[in-house]
Amino acid sequence: MYVIAMISRKGGAGKTNLAVHLAACAEGKGVATGIVDLDPQGTATKWGMRRSDNELRSGAEVISAQPTSVPRLLEAARAAGAKLMILDTAPHADSIAVDAARVADFVLIPCRPAIADLEAIPASADIARLAKTPFAVVLNSVGAQGARENEARQELQRLGLDLAPTALGHRVAYADAMIPGEGVTEHRNGTQASAEIEELFTWLWAMVEGSTRRAVA
């Protein structure tokens, strides 16, 4: 079982968006997946509740949890046959984020191509470094005009940070799919949103498999 933590010190960067759509995508590929929601706001938890009411969808259950119960929950998920657990964290909760990053095999840091997000990235990267967990930044909510994206890429490169090869566009499909507790790969397969989540998931899966193999070797 692999564990992926969504971390960013900036609220609204896209942690929950990544968590739910990647979880639904993983499920669709037969990877038994769960989400541990560590944000008291409970956006992922509410998505999970709508999902369990949605008769068309199964799996990708979401557990709302206190940080202290995470190791026990992960053990229980492993015993129950989960293959992927995604930790969704709250912004401005550094010690919780460090603990989440510590139990994770890989950390994803979503970042909008905007100055306020970019300014928060070094602090988010420090959380993953402190936890000694491999991590990458994912550009999220990128507009159709490319200028901001290119500037953001240059800034992240200047900071020496790894960037996921797939950026997520700013698309209403993400919020639309969440209404019935779905992921974009389920709600509107074949759209740009579903294609980019598929591509991101494929890359992420290769990264976690690679980093775990390195750790074992």
Ligand X SMILES: Nc1ncnc2c1ncn2[C@@H]1O[C@H](COP(=O)(O)OP(=O)(O)O)[C@@H](O)[C@H]1O
Q: Strand 135-139: give its sheet, edge to edge.
A: 61-64, 33-37, 84-88, 2-6, 106-111, 135-139
Residue with tokens 């997000």: 117
Decide which of Mg ion, ligand X, none touches 33; Cβ closer than 5 to 8 Å per partner kind: none
For the CB of residue 3, give the shortest distance to ligand X in the complex, in Å.
Answer: 18
What is the rounded distance in angstroms from the CA atom of residue 169 to the CA atom of residue 112?
10
Binding residue for ligand X, selected from 1, 2, 7, 8, defined by CB under 6 A: 8
What is the rounded distance in angstroms from the CA atom of residue 125 to the CA atom of residue 129?
6
Binding mask 118-157 for ligand X (x = CB under 6 A): ----------------------xx----------------
Closest CB to ligand X among residues 81, 190: 190
CA-nearest of 128, 98, 132 to 110 is: 128
Binding residue for ligand X, selected from 1, 3, 5, 13, defined by CB under 6 A: 13
For the CB of residue 41, give the shortest distance to Mg ion in the complex, in Å.
Answer: 6
Tokens of 153: 């890429």
Q: Is 174 an interacting residue with respect to ligand X (CB under 6 A)? A: yes
Q: Is 43 an interacting residue with respect to ligand X (CB under 6 A)? A: yes
Applying CB under 6 A, the residues found at the interface with ligand X are: 8, 11-17, 43, 140-141, 168, 170-171, 174-175
